[in-house]
Chains A and B, each alone.
Chain A
Amino acid sequence: MKTVSAPYQFKGGIHPDYHKELAWKSAIERMPNPSELTVPMSQHLGAPAKVCVSPGDAVKKGSLIGEQNGFISASVHAPVSGTVKAVVQSCSATGRSCQAVVIESMDDGETEYFEPIVEWLHTHKERLRNRIGEAGIAGMGGAGFPTRVKLSPPHDKPIDTVILNGAECEPYLTSDYRVMLEHADKICIGAEIIQHILGAKTVRIAIEDNKPDAVRAMEKACAQERQGIEIDILPTGYPQGSEKQQIYNITGREVPRGGLPMDVGCVVENVGTSLAIYEAVVHGQPLIERVITVTGEAVERPANLLVPFGTSYRKLVEHCGGVRESVAKVISGGPMMGFAVGSLEIPTGKTTSGLVLLPSGCIQQFSSQACIGCGRCVDACPMGLVPSELSQFIEADDIEGAERIALMDCIECGSCAFVCPAHRPLVQHMRRGKTGVMARRAAADAQTRK
């Protein structure tokens, strides 16, 4: 085990005010089970799970309530014991509507977990992958890509490096930080399970240099472990937590355009995912809860809560003492890439890393001003794009033109809109353009199939 500074640094990026001090001192506390939970079937990327319970059924904590539906999908389990009250349509943070199971909770302390695999090092990799799959684990950094798929790269793409993403470059959020501080040893074991499954040579744990105590905690936890684990300290900045940028910083390899990390022999997993893998393998616990940071200038008592999925945002805010001042914006996730929500009646899920409540003074106000061509977005873009030009193309509905100048390489990190003095909604333009490109590609596909 050794600790090094990441040898490379990607071009671009920004340095926002982090405001992490709001919540980073508060230790993870377990949120009491609410009386009723609405567990969405789509908490991950891909096809929603298929409901496999019906109203009136009794479920235990950990019982399967939604079956994995297709290859890119993840199963869903009951976060608490209780009775299924109904199957309803519920709204997710992104505004998509999906099926959800409403469970009336009943604290009987009973669980229905998987059989623990303590001797994981001597267990067949396929069995571990299946366990991760049946536990419904999806990337907990924000995108929610099913982890089982990520850990099953094709044979022609050997993985030599596992990167554990503990950068947490999103302002305000502290959940990964607290998890690293309090569960460092479990994360290490989780990382080793990933390493074992992929047969990777090294594990690199990436942490930004504004979290020195997390670095120390991870160092301590890893010290007694085997060789091949390395802690890479990244200079604080955004988007250090972005997969492609992180791989570049640590290994100097650039994920090719349109490619995936596995194309350069890397797999990046969030530290929270690593913890979930540990729990699923060693304790047999499916993914039914996670640490969520409830923070922001508009919340009374910022905290890091261990929350069972399906708890509504309103319950989280109430648990944290309610709102402090007139709240203008509620963000599910971090303020750079999270989703603003229109109401608090939204259930938490596997990708909810935080809930940030901001008063009107702290938020971005987009305007319809024209681009003044200052080029700051060009300097800020970590992908080497020209956001100003892209947005102008998209505004003029020249989607083809935008695609030609690498629209699809945009990672929607928001660095451009963060620095734009004209406060243009650049990311929204990019998304709109991407939707247009996707539609066109789908139409072209349909044409060729005809």
Chain B
Amino acid sequence: MKPENTSERFIVSSSPHIHEGSSVERIMLDVLIALTPALAAACYFFGFDALRLTAVCTATSIATEWLCRVMMRRNRSIGDLSAAVTGVLLALNLPPSLPTWMAVLGSIFAIGICKQIFGGLGYNVFNPALAARAFLLISFTGMMTSWSDSDWSATLTLNEGVIDIATGATPLGAIKDAVKAGREIPGFTLAGVARLFIGDTNGCLGETSVFALLIGAAYLLYRRVITWHIPAAYTATVVIFATVLYCVNPQTSVMPHIHLLSGGLVLGAFFMATDMVTSPVTKRGMLIFGVGCGVVTMVIRTVKTGAYPEGVSFAILFMNALTPLINRGCRNRVFGAKS
């Protein structure tokens, strides 16, 4: 399969003989570029920890990828940058205070178990970064849910005027705690919403700054690396779900825009759910995939007794598992077929 033209010999291949010029490397590079604003925001808000975790995850991912390929005696694939993308995405999905060794473990799990065991890029069935996050979350629930101290909770409004929120909680965590304890749901001031949008709050490295993520997402859409279908279906479902809940029971639920801005929704909808390998190939399939992600996310987020305040990664993983079936059921109509 190596095309070489050493002598006067022509290259012979099947048609087509020309190509638009895209490549896997370019797509991965675009994703990396698109993640830069989020990374910068993470560095701004979380300081050295952001740099530390990103560097560790990326380096470990690349090293694991290299090692796996060497052990499997396959061609090296670091050049396609997919390992780097996985590393950065995983780092953005980790809390800033996570010990380095856990990040290393997660990266090895992501590349080794979730990707290379299946044969490498294209063969994996679950998004490696998300699977690694879920793995860490289940194994080290404590470390994965302890957050640095941001004073974001000062922006909450409570009718009783008592702010009774443990420091080091994420907005979603605080809401879930309140719901579980049967307390009043905190309201968000305009300033609070603005801080959620900018990213000055508790949460995983990359998920807090919706603003930075949207810049990257716009770039991805512009470069046509992703299409609007999955993010739109995903966010729309979340909004509709939250609106209905809020209308039915405003006491125990928050406004839809809080759901949109908090947690890993934007990161998940634009960067994780759109992972090409593990999402459907047809547009109709993508819409179904997005809706499914939205529903599962909201179920995990809002059901009172649920163990986790945030459901984006589990929702996407769950839909990853359904992707082959969606692909199977959502093929396009073949030209000339009776409708």
Indicate which residue in A16, A327, A373, A427 contacts B18 across the interface (CB closer than 8 Å): A16
A182 within 8 A of partner (CB): no
Whether B334 pairs with A383 at a CB distance below 8 angstroms is yes
**Nearest-CB distance from A262 to chain B (Å)?**
14
- Bound together, the chains give a CA A338 to CA B16 distance in angstroms of 7
**Nearest-CB distance from A261 to chain B (Å)?**
11
Q: Which chain B residues border A365 with CB–CB below 8 Å?
A: 3, 19
Whether A342 pairs with B335 at a CB distance below 8 angstroms is no
A78 within 8 A of partner (CB): no
Would you give the 0/1 interface string for A373-388, flagging 1 where the beta carbon is closer than 8 Å to chain B?
A: 1111011011111101
A448 within 8 A of partner (CB): no
B17 within 8 A of partner (CB): yes
Residue of B nearest to A263 (CB): B336
Within 8 A of A (CB), among B313-339: 327, 331-338
A431 within 8 A of partner (CB): yes
A362 within 8 A of partner (CB): yes
- Bound together, the chains give a CA A11 to CA B332 distance in angstroms of 11
Known: A328-B5, A384-B332. A369 touches B122 (CB 8 A): yes
B218 within 8 A of partner (CB): no
Would you give the 0/1 interface string for B290-317, flagging 1 where the beta carbon is closer than 8 Å to chain A?
A: 0000000000000000000000000000
Ordered by A's residue number, 17 sampled pairs between the chains whose C-beta atoms are within 8 Å are A17-B18, A254-B336, A328-B11, A336-B18, A356-B17, A363-B11, A367-B1, A369-B121, A373-B122, A375-B280, A375-B282, A379-B283, A382-B335, A383-B335, A389-B327, A409-B334, A423-B19
In this complex, the interface size class of chain B, counting residues with CB under 8 Å from chain A, is 35 or more
Q: Which chain A residues border B22 with CB–CB below 8 Å?
A: 376, 419, 421
Knowing that A337-B16, A389-B331, A423-B23 are A-B contacts, what are 13 other residue pairs whose CB atoms are under 8 Å apart, sorted by A's residue number? A16-B20, A256-B336, A335-B18, A336-B18, A340-B11, A341-B10, A341-B12, A342-B12, A365-B3, A384-B333, A389-B327, A414-B15, A431-B14
The segment out of B194-202, B259-267, B271-279 that lies at the interface is B271-279
Whether A422 pairs with B24 at a CB distance below 8 angstroms is yes
Whether A371 pairs with B122 at a CB distance below 8 angstroms is yes
A406 within 8 A of partner (CB): yes
A209 within 8 A of partner (CB): no
Whether A370 pairs with B122 at a CB distance below 8 angstroms is yes
Whether A378 pairs with B281 at a CB distance below 8 angstroms is yes
A35 within 8 A of partner (CB): no
Q: Which chain A residues border B331 with CB–CB below 8 Å?
A: 384, 386, 389, 405
Whether A327 pairs with B10 at a CB distance below 8 angstroms is yes
Q: Which chain B residues border A386 with CB–CB below 8 Å?
A: 281-282, 327, 331-332
Whether B281 pairs with A425 at a CB distance below 8 angstroms is no
Within 8 A of B (CB), among A239-268: 244-245, 248, 254-257, 259
A130 within 8 A of partner (CB): no
Whether A338 pairs with B11 at a CB distance below 8 angstroms is no
Whether A363 pairs with B334 at a CB distance below 8 angstroms is no
Within 8 A of A (CB), among B131-164: none
- Bound together, the chains give a CA A362 to CA B286 distance in angstroms of 34
Residue of B nearest to A367 (CB): B1
Whether B24 pairs with A421 at a CB distance below 8 angstroms is yes
Most-contacted residue by chain A among B23, B27, B331, B332 (CB, 10 A): B332
Most-contacted residue by chain A among B3, B278, B279, B335 (CB, 10 A): B335
**Nearest-CB distance from A436 to chain B (Å)?**
15
Whether A369 pairs with B282 at a CB distance below 8 angstroms is no
Q: Which chain B residues border A227 with CB–CB below 8 Å?
A: none
Whether B276 pairs with A418 at a CB distance below 8 angstroms is no
B13 within 8 A of partner (CB): yes
B123 within 8 A of partner (CB): yes
- Bound together, the chains give a CA A338 to CA B120 distance in angstroms of 33
Most-contacted residue by chain A among B16, B121, B282 (CB, 10 A): B16
Whether A372 pairs with B10 at a CB distance below 8 angstroms is no
Whether A336 pairs with B335 at a CB distance below 8 angstroms is no
Residue of B nearest to A387 (CB): B281
Indicate which residue in B1, B282, B338 contacts A378 across the interface (CB closer than 8 Å): B282
The 10 closest A-B pairs by CB, nearest first: A370-B122, A414-B16, A375-B281, A428-B14, A364-B19, A384-B332, A374-B276, A421-B22, A335-B17, A368-B1
A358 within 8 A of partner (CB): yes
A330 within 8 A of partner (CB): yes
- Bound together, the chains give a CA A372 to CA B127 distance in angstroms of 12
A417 within 8 A of partner (CB): yes
- Bound together, the chains give a CA A370 to CA B23 distance in angstroms of 12
- Bound together, the chains give a CA A421 to CA B28 distance in angstroms of 11
B250 within 8 A of partner (CB): no
Whether B122 pairs with A425 at a CB distance below 8 angstroms is no
B183 within 8 A of partner (CB): no
Whether A418 pairs with B14 at a CB distance below 8 angstroms is no
Would you give the 0/1 interface string for A94-122, flagging 1 where the beta carbon is closer than 8 Å to chain B?
A: 00000000000000000000000000000
Q: Which chain B residues border A171 with CB–CB below 8 Å?
A: 18
Whether A338 pairs with B123 at a CB distance below 8 angstroms is no
Whether A364 pairs with B26 at a CB distance below 8 angstroms is no
